Amino acid sequence: MNAASPPDFALDRRQDHKGEAFPDEPGHCTNPAHPGRRRRMSTTGQPQNLCVPRASRPSGGNPANEMKRNTLTLVLVLLLAPMAHAAPPLPPGVLSIEPRPAPPLKLADMDGNVTDLAGLRGEWVFVHFWASWCGPCRREMPTLQRMHRQLGEQGPRLLLVNTAEDEDAIFEFLSAVAPDLHTLMDSDGQTTELWGPRGLPATFLVDPAGRVRYQVLGGRAWDTAPYLDFLRRLGAGFP
């Protein structure tokens, strides 16, 4: 598995102020359970996490203050515990969006076999729009081939949608760089228009209820660890 950083494909590579994913902004999270800090000192000058022999402990401690400290510690533990189990950050370029019903998608492949997205309820679906004349699409497609081989049945269902190209151009390209993959054909471009990608390539991740939950802008190194792990989580039912 290639864990190298995703190559420079294209499109806007910034990260907005909300922290939403844009390419090449490394995700990171801080574990609040172990912040770097000095040991707090008591009023006697002893560190509070230091065991002091009973004979040398200062007298006159206030039980009410001790109870307040214990209560505050318990509250902090309860508040921070869920954060330790938070979902990992999204891979670069993967945007979590407000769930919305997926547009219609019913297309045939080059053999005439028809796939209807509405019939795939109950599983995650990876809908990917592409064209062979698109430079980032050409560079990305081999990573989709490797992703498909590595995930097997562990990830979402893969639906490639070619936008407005003829069969000869599609077959020549896929047979050379991604022979294991099959694509649906949006010959008139109407389905692509319904989905409204900002450009090609574009990926939409549709949840088991038929709602678009994630959008991916531009080409990605889908065969690298951040993307494979993310797709495996979806396939296992952890959005």
Least confident of 33-47, 114-128, 132-146: 33-47
User: 168 or 69: which carries more pLDDT confidence?
Assistant: 168
- CB within 8 A of 200, min separation 6: which ones? 129, 130, 131, 134, 136, 137, 163
Which residue in the block uniquely carries the two structure tokens 């494909």?
A: 9
CATH topology of domain 94-235: Glutaredoxin (3.40.30)
Which residue in the block uniquely carries the two structure tokens 């396939």?
A: 235
The pLDDT mean for the chain works out to 78
pLDDT at position 226 over 60: yes
pLDDT at position 13 over 50: no
pLDDT at position 121 over 70: yes
- Please answer whether residues 96 and 214 qualify as being in contact, where contact means their C-beta atoms are separated by less than 8 angstroms: yes
- The verdict on pTM exceeding 0.85 is no
Give me the residue spans of the domains in the chain: 39-86, 94-235
* pLDDT for the residue numbered 22: 34
Please state, in angstroms and rounded to a whole number, the distance separating the CA atoms of residues 202 and 192. 10
Please state, in angstroms and rounded to a whole number, the distance separating the CA atoms of residues 223 and 142. 9
State the DSSP code for 29: -
pLDDT at position 47 over 70: no
